[in-house]
Amino acid sequence: MTITRVRGTMGILFGFAALLLAVPAFADDHSALPPENSEHWALQKQVDNIRIYTMDQPGSGFRAFKAVADLNVRINNLMAVMINPESCKEWVHNCTESFAFGKGTFHDRYAYSVNDMPWPVSDRDYVLRIRTRGNADTGEIIMDLNATPGMRAEANSRVRVDVSNTLYRFTPTEQGTHMVWVQHTEPNGALPEWLVNQLVIDIPVKSLKALEAVAGKEKYQGYRIQWGADGNIEAVVPHTP
């Protein structure tokens, strides 16, 4: 069995906590991710309404992935899931713990999450900065999740992910929501090559199927997106008649 050593992260994100973001430093964060429209993305798997692409990353032993899905659920419901700091456990595959911490705003906040890994691999944990922004004219909402490992003390039983960059793009459609999920993570320590290659494809497929189902639950209904005078998203709040 070949072992690939990489510094960084793999997990996910966000669990979703996800989501979220709106600060000027976005361009710097996105520079770590390959362009969404690059011709170098290679389709690896298609399952119903979900397509998974991967791309080799220069100087990295871990591939970036792009998941593209047309979800049969309204963007309001998806964002209701995203603003729940514990929702990672509901839809992100293998996410076993997630919560918000520190002082933050809707646009810029922090979350902690744990990804369960198969024995004998140690679980990975993530400390994420989550930022959210949107465009009232198009209804599009973008969330950036970036690893900030020094914001919380490390646990001896877990391996801290140092490098992870994720982008979620939600665009409303007549049928529901078009979602693009781009991520590049490098898991610290030694991981079997077969495991790394499988997770980058399997995690987003299973997670997006779960997200679509979770967003349809009763507790995530009845929310609306609140837009500011500047056209940026301000909040996701319960709908009041």
Q: Quick check: 6 pLDDT over 80?
A: no
Please compute the mean of the pLDDT values over residues 19-38 and round it to a whole number: 54
Beta pairing partners, 16: 14
At residue 105, the 3 state secondary structure works out as coil
Q: How far apart are CA 218 and CA 13, in angstroms?
A: 24
Q: CB of 101 within 8 A of CB of 152?
A: yes
What are the tokens at 121? 């691999």
Q: Quick check: 189 pLDDT over 80?
A: no
Map out the domains of the chain as residue ranges.
10-25+48-230
Of the ranges 25-29, 56-60, 176-180, 187-191, the best mean pLDDT one: 176-180
Q: Quick check: 12 pLDDT over 50?
A: no
Q: Quick check: 161 pLDDT over 60?
A: yes
Tell me, what's the pLDDT at 194?
A: 65
Which residues does 28 contact at the CB level (< 8 Å), separation at least 6?
Answer: none
Q: How far apart are CA 215 and CA 221, in angstroms?
A: 8
Q: CB of 87 within 8 A of CB of 13?
A: no
Lowest mean pLDDT among 12-26, 149-163, 172-186, 205-219: 12-26
Strands 64-71 and 95-101: unpaired
Mean pLDDT of the chain: 84
Q: How far apart are CA 22 and CA 133, in angstroms?
A: 4
Q: Quick check: 14 pLDDT over 50?
A: no
Domain 10-25+48-230 CATH superfamily: START domain (3.30.530.20)
At residue 227, the 3 state secondary structure works out as strand
Lowest mean pLDDT among 63-77, 87-101, 106-120: 106-120
pTM of the model: 0.84
Please compute the mean of the pLDDT values over residues 49-64 and round it to a whole number: 90
Q: Quick check: 20 pLDDT over 70?
A: no
Confidence bin at 167 (pLDDT 50/70/90):
very high
Please compute the mean of the pLDDT values over residues 206-223 and round it to a whole number: 97
Tell me, what's the pLDDT at 119?
A: 77
Tell me, what's the pLDDT at 160?
A: 87
Task: Return the residue matching tokens 């001896």.
Answer: 156
Q: Quick check: 22 pLDDT over 70?
A: no
Q: Quick check: 162 pLDDT over 90?
A: no
